[in-house]
Structure 1
Amino acid sequence: MKYWKILLKEQRDKGKSGLSIPFIIGSQAYLPFKNHSKQSISELLIDISQNNSFETSLRYCMNTQTLILEVRKTKNAVYFPKYKGNEQKNLSVAISFDNLGESIEEIIKELEDRFKEPIDKQLFSAEPNSDKRTAVWRKYTDYEDIPFITNSFKKLKN
């Protein structure tokens, strides 16, 4: 099973919503395989859209003030962006006030722009802060984030 699938399922099993894209991208540093090439945002979204066993949804999280990926909740209204002009049904995007684009290529460009700074600074975790208008990024915590990632990755097979 892919690393991002495990993380999203583990997060859901904890009764929580999804994970930010920087969180998923940064988690690759803890993969137990030496020969794993790290995915970029582009590679992650294309992977999700083309190789999925469950529908993954991209939506805005009011608690952290950022976009998250999650196992889709059926109550959320979504659309399915096209990839290379073709229909796909693995990656959905919540219908909201923030139009991210009609294609996966447009969405990738928007997300790369949006998350370049926190990823470059290795600030992968968004703090809950429903009182602010933007995400507050921080490094992974030793007491919660890193144990969650490493425990989740124990289920991976090379």
Structure 2
Amino acid sequence: MIVTLLTALAGLLSALFAGFALAMGTVINGMLGDLPPEQYLSTMRGIITHGRTSVTVSGLVVGPVSLGIFLLLLRLPAIDTPGFVLSAGGTAAHLTGALLVSRFVAEPLYDTIMAWDTPPTDWPDYRRRWARINLIRALLPLLGAGLFFAAVLISQ
């Protein structure tokens, strides 16, 4: 019972992160495209600064990974079952999309933007790249959520 509840919680948190990343890459990014370059830079600096220090964002990134690892340890005696495999897949998908893509793809882009004195003439290219990064950051955790929820369903 506890494994099922924790798996559902991991799926929910992964889905919440996916929704957050999708909103950033579509709604917020669309709004940023309407801003003049200096306002874009100021707004992005605010998003980056607050995003890097947000307990909510950190929880949505780390929560499903931590729960996933804990679940894999709990399911270890049943390593050859679909529940273990689905939980491992959910953990890997969320880890890749929310943590690794953020750390190794989004963060270097953020560092570049934070270093600008003024936006370069190609700043719209950075905005489009940020949208693509957020799409990846949304789709992989969404896949992770689906795998976690599938693990819940097969345990019923």
Q: TM-score, normalised by structure 1?
A: 0.27
Structure label with greater radius of gyration: 2
Q: TM-score, normalised by structure 2?
A: 0.27
More helix by share: 2
Of the two structures, which has the highest relative contact order with CA contacts closer than 8 Å and spacing of 6 or more?
2
More strand by share: 1
